[in-house]
A and B are shown apart, each in its own frame.
Chain A
């Protein structure tokens, strides 16, 4: 083997990861650093911003937007739980009883998501409108009081979030259920486990990696989302995403927006690490 060959072989992993690395540095790491520096600048749009390393903005936005922060985690958590409760039976049924139609059923599951996120949320606004096709009809038949409204409530926002991020929950769940060895399920039955025991002792624990991944993939974007709160919520249901958007695009107060983005990111990371320690990686590694 020539020296050149050996060099090429040793360089290969770096060369292969190079494009991805460059991409991440340019479009992820650099903006991240910029965002953190931006948060410590002082000034305004007309006079320009100067780097002052003024960290006072952090306690200020936490104090100012504490409700939005809390609400984001509350809505994100609720949406994640709803998505889990709705998708688990769905994913279970497709994985275990879908038979030859599995692919079709999975396609149907993600079909709505070929339509733009914003359009789908607007459609929900249309459906839930005070005199829309659902509420309007129910009110006409006197099944609901005429003053009832669904929009601009926390229920509407949470439902929208749960709906919009459902596939992020359902697909990892499906994958983890699908890959459970069927003979393990049969073995449980052979060892006197009733249907309920088979589920609780074997299927549920073996699907926990899917629950973990689905929870993560749903909770993180749902917590940072602002479209659902914007379209389906009212002024009293806005989330931290809405506040960040307003600071950036309405008040042009970039340092405040950047500081809030940083805080949200750190909170999510801390949360994820705690979550992963509690039920995540250790058990996942043990299964595979």
Chain B
């Protein structure tokens, strides 16, 4: 860990008039599980394809392990790819699929046999060497595709939405498996996905992309708890956003007057140098909902509203609240058996700790095709 494995320097890719990747700079460390996360069309797959050598950047430089590979073809890069459609060779059996890369490097027969066996064991697929890809299930094909890439012991493994075609249960299982395999082999994984949960489950760090640019690079916790932009806040889970104005700053905190007139306290550091107009946010599960009676407890941020909808989803209650100035706020309350005794139409207040408040840079609203993700 610590050593840089992949470095992208001001990489840009244009397809005709379309700017797919816009002046992107990125570093990935040796042994890291790194994800590129974003809606379709955000440039994440193009970025991966440029690192793999399937697309040439319009501008910029790509380094792998300290070596400039910008103009090298895929077969001259010490990188292997797991494709979205698996891309197994349909005319070759499982053994020959996995051995393909080793044969191109003229590894000797005994060695090939040993390494293919090992990598099929690693992905938990022994005993099916003579099957053709057409005779395997989607999950099995996925494992073979993984073994076929890993057997070459690349410095970097690129994974392009590899779990996209699997059903939910299998996907969850493969997520944990991928994480285990990555730990076992210690190879750097660069993972592309539009599934925020998938990215958060597996990654050491992730980059959220939109319109060919990186919105934020950080650990999953950081990206979730302190999203840098409105887009990131909305893309990773539900969030409640309120516009406000910074009134005063003192002792590491700032007071912000939000829509509707309430004053909330936010950590000063999260302002990130924003001047007066800001957008503050809080995750739905961080909020405590209660009847609006008496004074709100001190040390908590508080906003008033009217409960619109209360939904019971088993593990939790979900509340939709009409907040100040026409905003709609969402609250998740874990089902502890002692929830608030409120009904739709009641006046309620929403309480949360100041340290759970984040401040985001405003983004242009989500396009419809982005929301579909």
Residue from B53, B84, B101, B132 with most neighbouring chain A CB atoms (10 Å): B101
C-alpha spacing A218/B53, complex, angstroms: 40
Known contacts: A192-B101, A206-B91. The answer to whether A186 contacts B148 by CB under 8 A is no
Q: Is the CB of B104 within 8 A of A205?
A: no
Interface 0/1 of B102-118, CB less than 8 Å to A = 00110000000000000
Instruction: Tell me the minimal C-beta distance from A282 to chain B in angstroms.
Output: 12
* Interface range, A side: 20 to 34
Instruction: Tell me the minimal C-beta distance from B48 to chain A in angstroms.
Output: 12
Partner of B101, one of A191, A286, A288: A191
Residues of B within 8 Å of A191, CB to CB, are 75, 80, 100-101, 104, 148, 152
Instruction: Tell me the minimal C-beta distance from B339 to chain A in angstroms.
Output: 50
Q: B296 on the interface (CB 8 Å rule)?
A: no
Q: A81 on the interface (CB 8 Å rule)?
A: no
Q: Is the CB of B89 within 8 A of A190?
A: no
Residues of B within 8 Å of A286, CB to CB, are 90-91, 132, 134
C-alpha spacing A192/B105, complex, angstroms: 7
Q: Is the CB of B91 within 8 A of A188?
A: no
C-alpha spacing A283/B93, complex, angstroms: 13
Interface 0/1 of A187-203, CB less than 8 Å to B = 11111111001000110
C-alpha spacing A288/B135, complex, angstroms: 10
C-alpha spacing A138/B125, complex, angstroms: 68
Residues of B within 8 Å of A27, CB to CB, are none
Partner of B83, one of A183, A206, A288: A183
C-alpha spacing A265/B74, complex, angstroms: 51
Q: Is the CB of B75 within 8 A of A184?
A: no
C-alpha spacing A190/B74, complex, angstroms: 5
Residues of B within 8 Å of A181, CB to CB, are 85, 87
Q: B281 on the interface (CB 8 Å rule)?
A: no
Q: Is the CB of B75 within 8 A of A186?
A: no
C-alpha spacing A249/B149, complex, angstroms: 67
- Name A180's closest neighbour in chain B (CB-CB): B90
Instruction: Tell me the minimal C-beta distance from B13 to chain A in angstroms.
Output: 17
Q: A114 on the interface (CB 8 Å rule)?
A: no
In chain A between 243 and 288, which residues have their CB closer than 8 angstroms to a CB of chain B?
A: 283, 286-288
Residues of B within 8 Å of A188, CB to CB, are 89, 100
Q: Is the CB of B104 within 8 A of A197?
A: yes
Residues of A within 8 Å of B89, CB to CB, are 184, 187-188, 202
Partner of A186, one of B83, B105, B132, B134: B83
Residues of A within 8 Å of B105, CB to CB, are 192
Instruction: Tell me the minimal C-beta distance from B152 to chain A in angstroms.
Output: 7
Q: Is the CB of B91 within 8 A of A190?
A: no
Interface 0/1 of B76-101, CB less than 8 Å to A = 00011101110111110000000011
In chain A between 193 and 240, which residues have their CB closer than 8 angstroms to a CB of chain B?
A: 193-194, 197, 201-202, 205-206
Q: B73 on the interface (CB 8 Å rule)?
A: yes
Q: Is the CB of B74 within 8 A of A189?
A: yes
Residue from A184, A187, A190 with most neighbouring chain B CB atoms (10 Å): A190
Interface 0/1 of B179-218, CB less than 8 Å to A = 0000000000000000000000000000000000000000
In chain B between 35 and 67, which residues have their CB closer than 8 angstroms to a CB of chain A?
A: 52-54
Q: Is the CB of B85 within 8 A of A190?
A: no
C-alpha spacing A188/B52, complex, angstroms: 12
Q: Is the CB of A206 within 8 A of B90?
A: yes
- Name B96's closest neighbour in chain A (CB-CB): A201
Residues of B within 8 Å of A202, CB to CB, are 89, 91
C-alpha spacing A47/B89, complex, angstroms: 67
Instruction: Tell me the minimal C-beta distance from B78 to chain A in angstroms.
Output: 10
- Name B151's closest neighbour in chain A (CB-CB): A191
Residues of A within 8 Å of B75, CB to CB, are 189-194
Q: Is the CB of A186 within 8 A of B91?
A: no
- Name A191's closest neighbour in chain B (CB-CB): B101
- Name A185's closest neighbour in chain B (CB-CB): B87
- Name A286's closest neighbour in chain B (CB-CB): B132
Residues of A within 8 Å of B134, CB to CB, are 286-288
Known contacts: A192-B75, A287-B90. The answer to whether A187 contacts B104 by CB under 8 A is no
Q: Is the CB of A187 within 8 A of B132?
A: no
Q: Is the CB of B104 within 8 A of A184?
A: no
C-alpha spacing A197/B148, complex, angstroms: 17
C-alpha spacing A38/B24, complex, angstroms: 80
Q: Is the CB of A186 within 8 A of B87?
A: yes
Residues of B within 8 Å of A201, CB to CB, are 100
Q: Is the CB of A184 within 8 A of B90?
A: yes
C-alpha spacing A201/B100, complex, angstroms: 9
Residues of A within 8 Å of B132, CB to CB, are 286
- Name B91's closest neighbour in chain A (CB-CB): A205
A-B contact pairs, 27 of them (CB 8 A): A183-B83, A183-B84, A184-B87, A184-B90, A186-B74, A186-B83, A187-B88, A187-B89, A188-B89, A190-B52, A190-B75, A190-B79, A190-B80, A190-B81, A191-B75, A191-B100, A192-B101, A192-B104, A192-B152, A193-B104, A201-B100, A202-B89, A283-B91, A286-B90, A287-B90, A287-B134, A288-B134
Contacts beyond the supplied A190-B54, A206-B91: 13 A-B pairs with Cβ under 8 Å:
A181-B87, A183-B87, A184-B90, A186-B74, A187-B88, A188-B89, A189-B53, A191-B104, A191-B148, A192-B75, A194-B75, A206-B90, A286-B134
Which residues of B come within 8 Å of A, CB atoms?
52-54, 73-75, 79-81, 83-85, 87-91, 100-101, 104-105, 132, 134, 148-149, 152
